[in-house]
Homo-oligomer: A and B are copies of this chain.
Amino acid sequence: MRIIIDAMGGDNAPSEIVKGAIRARAEQKVDLTLVGDRRQIYSAAAHEDLSLSGIDIIHTETVVLPDDNPISVLKNKSDASMCIGLKMLLPDNEYGVVGDAFLSAGSTGALHACSTLIVHKLPGVRRSGIATILPFSHPLFLMDAGANPKITEEYLVQWAIMGSIYMKKIFGIENPRVGLLNNGTEEGKGTDILVAAHRLLRASNLNFVGNIESREIPFNPCDVLVCDGFTGNIALKLIEGMGRFMLDTMRNIYSANARSGISFLLIKREFEKFKKNFDASEHGGAPLLGLSRPVIKAHGNSDAKAIASAIRQAVSCVQTGITDAISEGLADYAREVSKS
């Protein structure tokens, strides 16, 4: 198995990406390829006095920047580390090595656009999208997290199928509960698309538990939650912001006076544990689903630990055959529908 890694994507590239790859390589005997500027990669390794043995490098000096228009990246920067990395997932590619999964901490929009153009969607998939695992005590799969602001009811059903398979394969959850993010629990709530999606999900073989209001998200209401990419993006970033706000507030309370300082010392370990739960690096990256190969988006500010965790996740996706399973799940659903 070989995981291809965009060495140049994200706020801390290439040094944290290189360190993360080295850490992952030390943990499990997976073959890794870093795509990016060879000199920068070497000097990152040299700076930390780390060995790159077992890690290949494909050299390129072109990088996708955060401001690049996602739609024209492939046309204008086809030799960027992100584009080369994705092309390396294809058989008979020009780089002489075929990867099983690709990982980047670069621009989400560009990664989604280039993935769709290079790796292609699985047959029958309406739209590929980005899923994320929300940082609560129970993992909660949210899709779409930002790639598709406009949707149809069919996208939502397909994402629910992908999510159910992902949570079963990667998190070992039997019969995952599927919810529809909506502005009320009653069946007729929300836009016409949501009402139609509710009906389709209810009629499917999925373990559909109905509409979920956003206030329930932290309290384990389901295992898979589907919504349009605009709403998903708002929800995801608000959870992030509220987590930061609450921790900031607690920190302010603790630093108010000597008494509260003592209080903090007594609670420090538990507090840090809780903070760690809210640390994105513990939850790996966001999988792009609906594509013919596993592609993982790591958080833009990923450190070495987060990169190593995202590499583990990519390995899991390959080992569990998530792509084939999704392909079969969608085909099963299509057969169900055509029968009824």
Chain A residues engaging chain B, CB cutoff 8 angstroms: 136, 146, 149-150, 181, 183, 190-191, 213-219, 229-231, 233-235, 237-246, 249-250, 253-254, 256, 259-260, 262-264, 266-267, 270-271, 274
Contact = CB atoms under 8 A, between A and B. Distances in A.
Contact of A263 (B230, B264, B274): B264
A206 to B, nearest CB: 22
B267 A149 contact: no
Nearest to A232: B183
A191 B240 contact: no
Contacts of A250: 250
A229 B249 CA distance: 29
Nearest to A228: B230
A237 B213 contact: yes
Contacts of A256: 270
Contacts of A266: 259-260, 262-263, 266
A83 B199 CA distance: 34
A149 to B, nearest CB: 6
A239 B242 contact: yes
A191 B238 contact: no
- Prevailing SS type, chain A contact patch: helix
B217 A241 contact: yes
Q: How many copies does the complex hold?
A: 2
A213 B234 CA distance: 7
B274 A230 contact: no
Contact of A241 (B150, B216, B231): B216
A243 B240 CA distance: 12
Given A245-B219, A266-B262, A267-B263, A235 B238 contact: yes
Nearest to A66: B186
Contact of A230 (B190, B239, B262, B264): B190
A183 B249 contact: no
A249 B274 contact: yes
A144 to B, nearest CB: 11
Contact of A238 (B230, B238, B264, B267): B238
17 contacts: A150-B191, A183-B230, A183-B234, A214-B233, A214-B237, A217-B241, A218-B241, A231-B231, A234-B235, A235-B238, A239-B242, A259-B266, A259-B267, A260-B267, A263-B263, A263-B264, A263-B266
A6 to B, nearest CB: 21
A274 B256 CA distance: 13
A240 B218 CA distance: 10
B234 A181 contact: yes
Contacts of A238: 214-215, 217, 235, 238-239, 242
A156 B255 CA distance: 41
Contacts of A218: 241-242, 244-245
A245 B244 CA distance: 13
Q: A-B pairs with the 8 shortest C-beta distances?
A: A215-B241, A218-B245, A263-B266, A242-B242, A215-B237, A214-B238, A246-B246, A183-B233
